[in-house]
């Protein structure tokens, strides 16, 4: 049983104003406004809250502004006249050369695309033949082979560069500060 | 016994590819069109002057005016001005000081076909020397299938047999890419032992450091064009079907 003269450790309202329990307990410090203006204040506060709510509803109803795509907006300073290059006009030989070159390119790309499609076709045929032969050897082996490989994707690989990596290369130091504008809707 | 005897012996083989590290040289048409694109879109026709170019043009104008007039204000004040032209020369010097790694390596020059550092713009695949019957043949690494495993596991086992367990490779799926089927010579062929089916699987080599491996047998890393130097014609025909240039 606890002794009766020890005060209970109950958290008091406004107990941060009364640091020691041995102090004389007075009422908590009174704030500015006297109690007479209470009702009018409450009405004013309610009116303010309603006005805020109406504003919020209006903002929410309006369609969200589209975020501008910085890349598509050319800064005005680049459309000044002094920026335009002064170049000689294209000679007819040059335009002729360009047209013929683009036709040659068209043909080149067509052949490249056909070769690619042919290679893929050969790849698929080779695999189909292998799977056919495998099925003759046993159904479980075949089923295991046609099962999807869950570990295959996502597949990541760095593409080739023009020169191979230089062993022991010390790249120059520098800091990259990102200044892209971030928009929130 | 309950298990049916298979007339064909099954083998799993791995086509392990080291992928290219550098870009292939451009074809003539590609170079011509790249030059045209650079001229039209990149530097000359469709673009406007950049800030650096505007600065350079203004400085050239200033220099011309100063030469024509006799009054040389800046030199009287002793002020040194860094011109855009100076900056360009400084950048050019810095660029010339940098030496990139060569695209043609030492292994290319010495034609060291055991090196992975050769033919950096092509795919290289692993060939190993294996004993089949009483012949020593160059093949894609293969081992015989054991009951209870999938053929992909057989191929992976073949890779580990020749390169060790720590080889990092990404196997491209559970299905075989090709098959080579052959009958045993009449001397050993029986009704229950007709021949062999070799199933090929493909994998991409992930690690470039194979110093821990390669202790097991004679090996080579060769391109698709060089395969003909080592593989027999029927085998080569089947392998070529699933290899892209």
Residue-range domains of chain B with CATH = 8-23+107-241 (3.90.79.10), 28-81 (no CATH)
Place of tokens 């890779």: B159
Closest chain B residue by Cα to residue A94:
B36
Q: List pLDDT tens digits, range B203-222.
A: 999 877 676 565 667 899 99
Contacts of A123 in chain B (CB under 8 A): 177, 241-242, 244
Contacts of B33 in chain A (CB under 8 A): 101-102, 105
Our CA-based measurement puts residue B175 at a distance from the nearest CA of chain A, in whole angstroms, of 4
Q: Which domain holds residue A125?
A: 113-147
Contacts of B30 in chain A (CB under 8 A): 108
CB contact under 8 A, A134 and B181: no
Within-domain flag for A16:
no
% helix, strand, coil for chain B, step of 5:
35, 20, 45
Chain B within 8 Å of A148 (Cβ-Cβ)? yes
pTM for this entry: 0.75
Which residue in the set A105, A144, A165 is minimally distant from B33, CB to CB? A105
Distance between CA atoms of B9 and A56, rounded to whole angstroms? 77
Nearest by Cα to A149 from B10, B152, B177, B147: B152
- Please count the other Cβ atoms lying within 10 Å of the Cβ belonging to residue A172: 5
Which residue in the set A87, A144, A163 is minimally distant from B101, CB to CB? A163
Best to test chain A binding among B171, B242, B245 (most A CBs inside 10 Å):
B242
Our CA-based measurement puts residue A69 at a distance from the nearest CA of chain B, in whole angstroms, of 20
Does residue B85 sit in helix, strand or coil? helix
B residues 187-206 lying closer than 8 A (beta carbon) to A: 197, 199-200, 204
Mean pLDDT (whole number) for B175-181:
95
Within-domain flag for A60:
no
The per-residue b/e assignment along A70-109, b for 16 or more CB within 10 angstroms, e otherwise, is eeeeeeeeeeeeeeeeeeeeeeeeeeeeeeeeeeeeeebe
What six digits make up the tokens of B22? 């550098």
For chain A, how many structural domains are there in total?
1
pLDDT at B195: 93
- The total number of residues written for chain B in this structure: 245
CB contact under 8 A, B49 and A137: no
Closest chain A residue by Cα to residue B10:
A137
Chain A within 8 Å of B100 (Cβ-Cβ)? yes
A33 pLDDT tier (thresholds 50, 70, 90): low
| Burial class of residue B96, CB neighbours in 10 A (0-12, 13-18, 19+) | exposed
> Which has more confidence, B166 or A116?
A116
ipTM: 0.83
Our CA-based measurement puts residue B76 at a distance from the nearest CA of chain A, in whole angstroms, of 31
pLDDT at A23: 58
Whether B198 contacts B180, CB under 8 Å: yes
Which residue in the set B48, B178, B179 is minimally distant from A84, CB to CB? B48
- Whether the link from the prior residue into A5 is cis, omega within 30° of 0, is no
Within-domain flag for A44:
no
Distance between CA atoms of B35 and B29, rounded to whole angstroms? 10
Whether B107 contacts B118, CB under 8 Å: yes
Concatenated DSSP letters of B133-154 = TTEEEEES-EEE--TTS-HHHH
Query: Which residues, 6+ apart, have CB-to-CB distance to B191 below 8 Å?
Result: B7
A residues 150-179 lying closer than 8 A (beta carbon) to B: 152, 155, 157, 160-167
Within-domain flag for A81:
no
Distance between CA atoms of B118 and A80, rounded to whole angstroms? 53
Within-domain flag for A131:
yes
Q: List pLDDT tens digits, range A109-136.
A: 999 999 999 999 999 999 999 999 999 9
Angle between helix B51-68 and B84-97 (nearest 10): 120
Within-domain flag for A9:
no
Our CA-based measurement puts residue B74 at a distance from the nearest CA of chain A, in whole angstroms, of 26
When mean pLDDT is compared over A55-59, B36-40, B205-209, B219-223, the highest value belongs to B219-223
A residues 2-41 lying closer than 8 A (beta carbon) to B: none
> Which has more confidence, B95 or A20?
B95
Chain A within 8 Å of B121 (Cβ-Cβ)? yes
């Amino acid at each position: 049983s606890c002794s009766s003269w020890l005060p209970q450790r109950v958290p008091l309202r406004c107990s941060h104003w009364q640091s020691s329990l041995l102090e004389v307990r007075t009422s908590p410090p009174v704030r500015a406004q006297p109690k007479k203006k209470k009702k009018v204040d409450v009405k004013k506060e309610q009116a303010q809250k309603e006005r805020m709510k109406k504003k919020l509803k209006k903002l929410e109803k309006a369609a969200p502004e589209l975020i501008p795509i910085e890349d598509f907006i050319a800064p005005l300073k680049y459309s000044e006249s002094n920026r335009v290059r002064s170049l000689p006009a294209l000679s007819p030989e040059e335009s002729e050369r360009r047209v013929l070159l683009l036709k040659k390119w068209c043909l080149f790309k067509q052949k490249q695309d056909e070769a690619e499609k042919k290679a893929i076709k050969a790849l698929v045929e080779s695999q189909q033949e292998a799977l056919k032969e495998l099925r003759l050897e046993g159904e479980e082996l075949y089923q295991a082979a046609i099962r999807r490989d869950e570990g295959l994707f996502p597949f990541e690989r760095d593409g080739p560069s023009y020169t191979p990596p230089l062993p022991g290369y010390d790249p120059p130091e520098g800091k990259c500060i990102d200044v892209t504008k971030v928009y929130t809707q | 016994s309950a298990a049916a005897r298979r007339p064909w012996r099954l083998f799993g083989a791995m086509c392990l590819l080291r992928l290219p590290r550098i870009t292939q040289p451009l074809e003539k048409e590609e170079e011509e069109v790249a030059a045209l694109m650079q001229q039209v879109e990149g530097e000359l026709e469709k673009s406007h002057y950049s800030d650096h170019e505007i600065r350079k043009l203004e400085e050239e104008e200033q220099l011309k005016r100063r030469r024509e007039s006799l009054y040389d204000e800046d030199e009287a004040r002793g002020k040194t001005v860094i011109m855009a032209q100076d900056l360009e020369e400084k950048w050019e010097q810095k660029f010339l000081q940098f030496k990139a790694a060569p695209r043609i390596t030492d292994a290319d020059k010495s034609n060291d076909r055991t090196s992975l550092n050769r033919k950096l713009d092509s795919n290289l695949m692993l060939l190993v020397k294996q004993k089949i019957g009483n012949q020593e043949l160059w093949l894609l690494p293969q081992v015989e299938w054991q009951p209870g495993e999938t053929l992909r596991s057989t191929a992976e086992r073949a890779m580990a047999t020749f390169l060790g367990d720590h080889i990092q490779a990404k196997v491209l799926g559970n299905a075989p890419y090709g098959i080579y089927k052959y009958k045993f010579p009449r001397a050993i062929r029986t009704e229950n032992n007709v021949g062999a089916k070799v199933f090929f699987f493909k994998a991409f080599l992930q690690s470039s450091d194979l110093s821990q491996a390669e202790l097991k047998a004679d090996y080579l890393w060769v391109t698709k064009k060089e395969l003909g130097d080592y593989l027999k014609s029927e085998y080569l025909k089947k392998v070529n079907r699933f290899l892209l240039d």
